Amino acid sequence: MAINDLPILSALRTKMQWHQERQRVLAENVSNANTPNFRPNDLVEPKFDNKGANVGGGMGSLAMMRTASTHIGVSGGAPSFRGDGGKNGFLTKPAGNAVNLEEQMLRVSANQMDYAAATSLYSRSLGLLKTAIGKR
């Protein structure tokens, strides 16, 4: 088994990839702050079991969901990628836009801190493994 195939390292890699994609989505929300009728999006956080295996996601870290009525139904209640759809108690702008810049920027900074924590754990775990096998 390769070092990168360890479940905990795989879970950390998946988590880092999720944070990268979430940063893209949040940046898109901020960039469309003045677009009429734009609704902010967010990603569903991946879930892991005790051994670090991804739970609920088939191919990647996100579960399948039905985005149109013509799509095949998904068993179970899949979470929405639309977040709360702007119904979090904040008023929408006169143009019909539901982006709250303060909320989006808080999410961006929290995402950045979580990504830094995951990368630190990943690099320290690799360092410990290298020390254990005598490569350091």
The model's confidence at residue 63, banded by pLDDT at 50, 70 and 90, is low
pLDDT surpassing 70 at residue 77:
no
Q: What is the pLDDT of residue 121?
A: 94
Side-chain-side CA neighbours of residue 58 (13 Å): 5
Q: What is the pLDDT of residue 135?
A: 80
Percent of the chain scoring above 90 in pLDDT: 30
Q: What is the Cα–Cα distance from 67 to 71, expressed in whole angstroms? A: 7
Exposed, middle or buried by CB within 10 Å (0-12, 13-18, 19+), for 7? middle
Q: What is the pLDDT of residue 74?
A: 55
- pTM here is 0.65
Residue with tokens 């709360």: 84
- The residues with which 54 forms a beta bridge, in sequence order, are 48
Percent of the chain scoring above 70 in pLDDT: 68
